[in-house]
Amino acid sequence: MAAPPLGNSVTWDGTSLHYILTYSRDLESRNGALEARVAALEQQLAHCEQMYNKELEKQTTLQAAAFDQQLAEYQQDALKAHHTLFQATRPLIACIINGDEYLFAQFTCGFDGGAHAVQSLTKQIHDRLDQDGARASLGDKLTFWITVYYNRRELLGSGICTAQQLDEFLTGFCVRHPGFWFVDVGGLKLTANKVHVFLDTIICFPTTFRVFLAAMPSPDYYKLFTKLHSKEVLGKLVLLDTSDHHWDPNIGLELLIVNDVFMPTRLVEQLALSSPSSVASAQSLLSSIPSPGGSALPRSGQNMQVRAVDPTLPLHKQTPPPCNEHYLMFCGKDHCKYSHDYQLTTDQLQALAAAAKKAPCNWIRSGRECPYGDRCCWGHACPYGTTCHYLKDRKCWFKADTMHSKPSSRG
């Protein structure tokens, strides 16, 4: 007798085993097909993403280029408008006066005094512009301002004139032109500060051609002159002075002596007498201002060591060499590597000036107009002129085209 089956054992016949085997193979084949489809779809997705990123990058580049072009057009339009604006604006001649330091001589003459003062002042300024050739080149296309800062309370308190005389004087002065006016600082001792700030601002305007300044010398002005020199606008400045010569004639800036306009006595001089320290400070700084006559000599209250020139060496081989701008024009450098301490003779100054003309002016070389004009110590034209043999080899220091337009100046 046969033994019974053990446990839960199942007996499979051949048909069942064949079905299961066939089904497993079909399932394996289907899974393989699905995996291949997924791989293909992933490849297509990656390709689409790549194409999308390229298109997005292209559109971004096109948009950026369009924006840059639009911005450039806006900037060009703004530049044209800016240029047109300044072309339409007349060159400005500004006269700035510290009315507490330069008192008008005809305050007591009322309206007629003001009319006479402004007429005399404008005539002397116009004569100076004629001498410089400015009016000949610019014609009548000029804007003329006269601004007088003053302390009305202090002026009336000095007893120089009455309130009625002052008001009539201001009317006679200002009625001559809409650009002439007096500015009261309101009783505060801020006149010099107002003049200082106004000068620092207006001289930097592109349309400003000349600025005439009537103010007493002070350390603040010498510091401002150094600042304006670094901005390359100091050449626009002309100092107004009287026959008393409050400004050092050897300061290295243009001076215009004005006659019959201002009083010989000034309130500031009387106030300064009570402050010896401020006077000493001003004198000390005044002594350091360069002199085109080669003086740089010790002035009162200063002990200065004068450097001796080695007679066996030319000036440019001295140790250190003399500063061209200090002796011939104006040096505003805080720490100049050249010397300001030599006492040069007339012949040495002439030699220094001749040597400086052999070096090109940076203004002209860069294609700009030199604000110092004929007063510039540097060369505005190549000494060899049209016959310069260095120009053919592109080795000449005088790079601008206009620097070789004249015949040779060498003998």
Average of per-residue pLDDT across 189-196: 88
Q: Is 44 exposed, middle or buried (0-12, 13-18, 19+ CB in 10 A)?
A: exposed
Work out the percent of the chain whose per-residue pLDDT is above 90: 16
Q: How confident is the model at residue 391 (pLDDT cuts 50, 70, 90)?
A: confident
Mark residue 356 as left, alpha or beta (left: phi above 0; alpha: psi -120 to 50; beta: remaining). alpha
Which residue did the predictor score with more confidence, 138 or 206?
206
Between CA 318 and CA 109 the distance in angstroms is: 59
pLDDT, residue 4, reads: 53
pLDDT, residue 138, reads: 66
Closest CA relative to residue 166, chosen from 180, 179, 182, 144? 182
Closest CA relative to residue 295, chosen from 268, 327, 321, 322? 327
pLDDT, residue 95, reads: 96
3-state secondary structure of 9: coil
pLDDT surpasses 90 at 19 = no
Tokens of 79: 């530049």
Q: How confident is the model at residue 272 (pLDDT cuts 50, 70, 90)?
A: very low
pLDDT, residue 124, reads: 92
pLDDT, residue 202, reads: 92
Q: How confident is the model at residue 270 (pLDDT cuts 50, 70, 90)?
A: very low
Domain ranges of the chain: 88-286
* Identity of residue 173: F
The Cβ-side half-sphere exposure at 363, using a 13 Å CA radius, reads: 16
Between CA 239 and CA 250 the distance in angstroms is: 12
Average of per-residue pLDDT across 139-159: 85
pLDDT, residue 135, reads: 64
pLDDT, residue 393, reads: 73
Q: How confident is the model at residue 137 (pLDDT cuts 50, 70, 90)?
A: low
In this structure, of 245-259, 265-279, 305-319, the range with the lowest mean pLDDT score is: 265-279
Angle at 225 between CA 222 and CA 229, to 5 degrees: 145
* Residue in the block written with tokens 């040069």: 344
Q: How many helices (H) and strands (E) does the chain have?
A: 13, 6
In this structure, of 219-228, 292-301, 362-371, 385-394, the range with the lowest mean pLDDT score is: 292-301
Which residue did the predictor score with more confidence, 358 or 137?
358
pLDDT surpasses 60 at 297 = no
Average of per-residue pLDDT across 312-325: 88
Q: What is the pLDDT of residues 322-376, one digit of tens each?
A: 988 878 876 656 577 888 888 888 888 888 988 888 888 888 887 777 766 777 8
Between CA 258 and CA 125 the distance in angstroms is: 9
The overall average pLDDT reported for the chain is: 78
Please enumerate in sequence order all residues whose Cβ is within 8 A of that of 119, keeping only pairs 6 or more positions apart, or say none.
176
pLDDT, residue 248, reads: 73
In this structure, of 50-54, 77-81, 337-341, the range with the lowest mean pLDDT score is: 77-81
Between CA 293 and CA 328 the distance in angstroms is: 7
What are the two backbone dihedrals, phi and then psi, of residue 55, each rounded to the nearest 5 degrees? -65, -40
* Residue in the block written with tokens 């048909």: 15
**What does each C-alpha distance from 127 to 22, 105, 123, 305, 309 come to in angstroms?**
120, 21, 6, 41, 41
Q: How confident is the model at residue 302 (pLDDT cuts 50, 70, 90)?
A: very low
In this structure, of 3-17, 285-299, 320-334, the range with the lowest mean pLDDT score is: 285-299
Between CA 382 and CA 5 the distance in angstroms is: 125
pLDDT, residue 182, reads: 95
pLDDT surpasses 90 at 83 = no
Q: How confident is the model at residue 381 (pLDDT cuts 50, 70, 90)?
A: confident
In this structure, of 40-44, 364-368, 377-381, the range with the lowest mean pLDDT score is: 364-368
Average of per-residue pLDDT across 237-263: 83
pLDDT, residue 3, reads: 52
Average of per-residue pLDDT across 193-199: 92
In this prediction the pTM is 0.49
Between CA 210 and CA 207 the distance in angstroms is: 9
C-beta atoms surrounding 307 within 10 Å: 16
pLDDT, residue 195, reads: 93
Q: Which CATH architecture has domain 88-286?
A: 3-Layer(aba) Sandwich (3.40)
